[in-house]
Chain A
Amino acid sequence: MIEKVLIANRGEIALRVIKTCKALGIKTVAVFSDEDRNSLHVKNATESYYIGEAAPAKSYLNQEKILDVMLSSGTDAVHPGYGFLSENDDFARLCEKNKINFIGPSADSMNLCGDKMRCKEAMLKAKVPTVPGSPDLTKDAVDAEKIANDIGYPVMLKSVYGGGGRGIRIVNTDQELRDAYETVTAESIAAVGKSAIIVEKFLEKTRHIEYQMCRDQHGNAVHLFERECSIQRRNQKLIEQTPSPVVDKAKREEIGELVVKAAEAVDYTNLGTAEFLRADNGEFYFIEINARLQVEHPISEMVSGLDFVKLQLDIANGEPLPFKQSDLKMNGYAIECRINAEDTFLDFAPSTGPIPDVTIPSGPNVRCDTYLYPGCTVSPFYDSLMAKLCTWGQTYEESRLRMLNALNDFYIQGVETSIPLYKTILKTDEYKNGQLSTDFLKRYDMINRLKEDIKNEIKEKQLPATAAAIMYSEFFHSKVQSSNRTNSNWKTHG
C-alpha cells in the first residue's frame, strides 16, 4: 500500500495531486527549485526538499537529485504529473530499479508510446486507423521534403519526442519545410533533450478528440469517455470540453473500443490518453498516446464523478478496477479553459512577473486548479499555465454560461492573461453551436473579434471609469489640503 508519494513536479498539478493524497491520508513529498520556495505545493506537502536552481535541467529534470530525495525521505511511490519527467522512460526505469512505485505505465510501455513510429506500428497491428505519414524518422530536410511531396502538402513536421505542442510546424511548400526543419529540431532538443523528425499529413479543419484510457495491472481496461480539445494555438490546447458535440453514443462506443484495444496493444497500465484527429468527413485517425495524466483531466472527472488521481493510486497499488465499462455513465457537460500568462496580442508571448493580487472564481460547479495566490510570482523558467478553470452544467449551454461568468470573476494582476480571449471565444455563435476545429482562432478571426469586444467593454465602462478618475484627482491631487503639513522642523529649525 502506498504510504508516501513524492510529486516530481510543480505548479498546479503538484498541488492537485497533493490535495487528493492528503485527503486520503497519504503522506506527500514536494520538491522545489529556487523559484518555487514559496509555492503552494511546497506549503501543502507533508515534507518538502530543495532540489536545485530554477532551470528545469538543474531541478525538476534532475533525476539523480529527485531519486536522492525519494530514497532519503522513504518515499514508496512517485507521481510525475505532466511534462517534466512524466514521459521519460529512463526515469520510470530508475524508479523501478529502486523499488519505487512509478504511478503511471511501465517504462517499456511508456517507451513504446513515446516512440511515435513504433507506437504507430502497434496501432496498425491492432487495426486502429492512423494519420498518413513518413514510414520512418526522416534523415534530414531533403528526405523530409521528398516524403512531404509524396504525401502531399500541407504536412506537419513533428518531433517524435515532442510533447505539449512543441517541436511541431505546419508547412505548405518545400521552402517553408526547409526553413522549419531546423527550428523544429532545436525546439525539440530544448524541451526534452532529443530530436528526431517525422512528416505527417496535415488534415485541415479537423477536430482534436481524445479518449481517457484506463487499464489496471490485471488487464482490465476501460475508456472514460472523450474530450474535445480542438481550440488550440500553436498546437497547444486552450479550451477543452466533454462530451464532444460531434460524438454521439454510438460513435463513443465505437472509438472507445478502439481505445481499449490500443491500450492493450501497448500493454498500457494506469491512466493515459489516446489522441485522435477527426476529419471533416467524420473519420477518426489515431495520433498518439500520452502516457501520463493529462492537463485537462478535471473535465472528465466532473462528468464521471471520479477522482482520477485516486484511481491512479489504486491501480498503482495493484487493485483491480472497481467498475466495468457498462457501469460508467457520462453526466452533464464540462468545459475547461487554460488560463495562461500570455499576451494574446503579441502572438501569445509569455508574460511573467509578480502577482500582487488575484481573485479566484468559485461557486456551484466551478472548479479552479491553480497555484496562484496574492504575492506569488509567475516564473519565466516554466510553463505559462497559471490556472485551469473548469465548469460543469446539466447542458452544454449551462456549462458555457457558468464558464463566462467564472471568467468574469477571475482577476489576475501583474501579467497579461488569456482570459479576455476566452470570453470572446465563448460568446461566439460558432462556439455555442459546437463548430469547433483546430483552426478555430484563425478561421473565425478571433483576434479581431477580441479587439472589438475589448473596445465595446471599455465603452460600456466609460462612465464609471471617468468617475474613478475624477475621484482620484479629487483625493490625491487636491487643490487645498486639509492641513497635512503639521510636524515640520522648518519653522523651529535654526
Chain B
Amino acid sequence: MDFKVENIEEIFSGEVIKKLSSDEYLIRIQDKEHQLQILNINSNKMEFVLDNQFHSVRYIENQTAEMKIVLDGTSITINMHTHLDDIVYKNSGGADTGNAQLNLRSQIPGKVVSINVSEGNEVKKDDVVCVLESMKMQVSIKSHKDGKIKSVKIKEGNSVNKNDIIAEIE
C-alpha cells in the first residue's frame, strides 16, 4: 500500500511481510525491513516499538481518502490513495488541504457579522470574505486562494456551524 504523509513529497510504500510471533511483525517500508512489536492495540490507539524506539499513536479518524492520527503528540494526516486524488477532485474541488478546493468552509461556529464580498468579485488569497462573531470575538474568514467568488452561501445575521460552506471560489 502507498502512504502519503501530508505535505511531504515522498510517498512511502509499505506492507506487512510476515508475522513473527504473537505480537511481532516484520514490515517493509520503502526498501527497508523493520521489526515492529505491538505492546497493545485497539481501534483508538496503539503502542508499539519500531526499530527499538517506543511510539504511541492515537487513531483519530479513518476515512476512505485519509487517516488522521496523533503520533507521539504530533497530529498527522495520511493520505492513502493520492494517485487518485486528481481524478476524484476534478469536478468537486478538493480535500481540506487542496488549493483547488471550490468551497471555502468555516473553521469555527459563529454568527455572520458582515459579508465583505459579492458574487463575481475577484479575490486574492487571504482577502477577508466575511466576519464571524464567536464568543465576543470577531474573527475574519479569509479566502484560501486567488479566484473569483462564484456564490455566497451565507446571510448576514445567520449562524454558521463549523465546516459550513461560506462561499464557492473558482
Contact = CB atoms under 8 A, between A and B. Distances in A.
B139 A346 contact: yes
A458 B29 CA distance: 17
B76 A465 contact: yes
B70 interface: yes
Interface size class of A (residues with CB under 8 A): 35 or more
Interface in B1-27: 1, 3, 5-8, 10, 12, 14-16, 25, 27
Nearest to A183: B138
B71 A349 contact: no
Interface in A463-482: 463-476
Given A470-B14, A471-B41, 9 more contacts: A191-B136, A347-B140, A350-B135, A413-B58, A462-B10, A464-B71, A465-B5, A466-B5, A467-B48
Contact of B107 (A166, A191, A346): A346
A411 interface: yes
Say what secondary structure dominates the interface of chain A: helix
A471 B72 contact: no
B38 A457 contact: no
B64 to A, nearest CB: 11
A455 B7 contact: yes
B63 interface: no
B41 A475 contact: yes
Interface string A403-417: 000001101010000
A465 B10 CA distance: 13
Given A346-B139, A471-B38, A476-B43, A464 B55 contact: yes
Given A469-B3, A470-B3, A475-B41, A459 B8 contact: yes
B46 interface: yes
A31 B153 CA distance: 43
Given A464-B50, A470-B1, A350 B134 contact: yes
A461 B15 contact: no
13 contacts: A349-B139, A350-B108, A351-B108, A357-B58, A413-B58, A458-B8, A459-B5, A463-B50, A464-B55, A465-B78, A470-B1, A470-B16, A474-B25
Contacts of B27: 467, 470-471
Contact of B71 (A166, A183, A455, A461): A461
B31 to A, nearest CB: 13
A357 B48 CA distance: 19
A349 B135 CA distance: 9
Contacts of A108: none
A483 to B, nearest CB: 17
A475 B48 CA distance: 14
B77 to A, nearest CB: 9
Given A408-B73, A476-B43, A462 B55 contact: no
Nearest to B5: A462
A265 B23 CA distance: 72
Contacts of B130: none
Nearest to B54: A464
B104 to A, nearest CB: 13
Contacts of A462: 5, 8, 10, 12
Contact of A458 (B5, B80, B138): B5
Interface string A84-103: 00000000000000000000
**Which of A380, A408, A462 has its CB near the most chain B CB atoms (within 10 A)?**
A462
B69 interface: yes
Contacts of A463: 12, 29, 34, 50
B95 interface: no
**Which of A411, A473, A476 has its CB near the most chain B CB atoms (within 10 A)?**
A473
B36 interface: yes
Contacts of A411: 70, 73
Contacts of A465: 3, 5, 57, 69, 71, 76, 78
Contacts of A166: 136
A187 interface: yes
Contacts of B48: 467-468, 471
A389 to B, nearest CB: 14
Given A350-B108, A380-B135, A470 B15 contact: yes
B65 to A, nearest CB: 13
Contacts of B15: 470
Contacts of A472: 46, 59, 62, 67
Nearest to B78: A469
A168 to B, nearest CB: 13
Contacts of A476: 43, 62
A306 interface: no
Q: Which 10 A-B pairs have the closest CB atoms?
A: A468-B57, A466-B12, A349-B139, A464-B55, A466-B3, A190-B136, A349-B108, A462-B5, A470-B14, A465-B76
A469 B80 contact: yes
Nearest to B41: A475
B70 A413 contact: yes
Interface in B114-133: none
